[in-house]
Chains A and B, each alone.
Chain A
Amino acid sequence: MNNAHAQEVSATGIPSGKLGIWMFLASEVMLFGAFISSYVILRTGSPLFEIPAREMLGVPLATLNTFVLILSSVTMVLALDSVQKNNQKGLSRYLLLTVLLGFVFLGVKAYEYHHKWAEGITLSSGLFGSFYYTLTGLHALHVVGGIVFNLYILVNALRGKYSSNHHERVEYAGLYWHFVDLVWVILFPSLYLL
């Protein structure tokens, strides 16, 4: 979608790009919702669903990762706030911070995977392992997607392509990133605390 299409106002009075990203997010709600529903049903109903001890789950690291994603959501919304005030430096700085925090999240997740695998929680070790890697893996893929999207926005920001009058794509990237944060807020207690 080029800039003209992204800003074009649809019959609803909303720019096509914004309507498109919200439609996409609604489909993502259904994707994650279907997986989480299956997890809830099997965990509640299946006698084969064994939960590993909390010590094996690594709650402190997952809590740290939750804080990292929440912080990245704040830097993302501050990036949008900066461009709305025509603050180009602020936009680039907060976008860069968001991208770096995304990498921190993935780094911690990779460390967690390594340790869990070594402790015997694998994809085929049981229902919990299957759901754990499917849900967190799918989420991590979305984080990777968000980092790529944000890097693209960052490169354009450094080229001075956004201003207070034209920053739609910064907003769309932000919507996607906040959604990724929101999904983790639900996955965290479901997989680590209950």
Chain B
Amino acid sequence: MMADGRLEPKMKDIKESHSMVGIYLVVFGCLTLLTGLTVGIAYLHLERTAAVMAAVFIAGLKATLITLFFMHFKFEKKIIQVTLYTALLLILVLLFILLPDLGTHRLGL
């Protein structure tokens, strides 16, 4: 079967797939650890800004791991990446449009 030259790439695929299972399990371990970390930090009663920054950073890291490895985003074509980045950009625009309103309320304007 090796002589027909077709089995080799298949075996290569399976090998690659085996290594992907390892990556999935490592990502699972990281996600579990990060979940424990975010809960642990919440009980440290840090100063408000530090607590928010830590929670946002860890949530962002977890979301990135899920997107890149479980959703295989890093292997997708540019058009799909641009589609998702556009949606994320629009959310940031929405937040920044609303932030000045927050400032005026706080200042009592």
71-105 of chain B: CB within 8 A of chain A:
71, 76-77, 79-80, 83-84, 86-88, 90-91, 94-95, 98-99, 101-102, 105
Chain B CB within 10 Å, residue with most, of A14, A19, A26, A78? A26
B-chain residues with CB within 8 Å of residue A174 when the two chains form the complex = 70-71
Describe A's contact surface by its main secondary structure.
Answer: helix
B94 touches A34 (CB 8 A): yes
Describe B's contact surface by its main secondary structure.
Answer: helix
In the assembled complex, B52 has its CB within 8 A of some CB on chain A: yes
138-194 of chain A: CB within 8 A of chain B:
174-175, 178-179, 181-182, 185-186, 188-190, 193-194
In the assembled complex, A106 has its CB within 8 A of some CB on chain B: no
User: In the docked arrangement, what's the CA distance between A194 and B39, Å?
Assistant: 10
Given contacts A37-B98, A194-B55, contact A22 B84 (CB under 8 A): yes
A-chain residues with CB within 8 Å of residue B1 when the two chains form the complex = none
Given contacts A37-B95, A41-B101, A189-B59, contact A81 B31 (CB under 8 A): no
A194 touches B24 (CB 8 A): no
How many B residues touch A, CB cutoff 8 Å? 46
In the assembled complex, A29 has its CB within 8 A of some CB on chain B: yes
Given contacts A26-B86, A74-B28, A194-B51, contact A14 B102 (CB under 8 A): no
What 0/1 readout, one digit per residue, does chain B (1-32) give for beta carbons within 8 Å of chain A? 00000000000011001001100110110011
Chain B CB within 10 Å, residue with most, of A23, A54, A174, A193? A193
How many A residues touch B, CB cutoff 8 Å? 48
B95 touches A40 (CB 8 A): yes
User: In the docked arrangement, what's the CA distance between A194 and B44, Å?
Assistant: 12
Q: How far is the CB of B91 from chain A (nearest CB, A)?
A: 3
39-86 of chain B: CB within 8 A of chain A:
39, 42, 51-52, 55-56, 58-59, 62-63, 66-67, 70-71, 76-77, 79-80, 83-84, 86
B32 touches A81 (CB 8 A): no
User: In the docked arrangement, what's the CA distance between A59 and B36, Å?
Assistant: 12
Known contacts A22-B83, A84-B17, then 12 further A-B pairs from the complex at CB < 8 Å, ordered by chain A residue: A22-B76, A26-B84, A26-B87, A37-B95, A67-B32, A70-B31, A73-B28, A81-B20, A174-B70, A178-B70, A185-B66, A193-B39
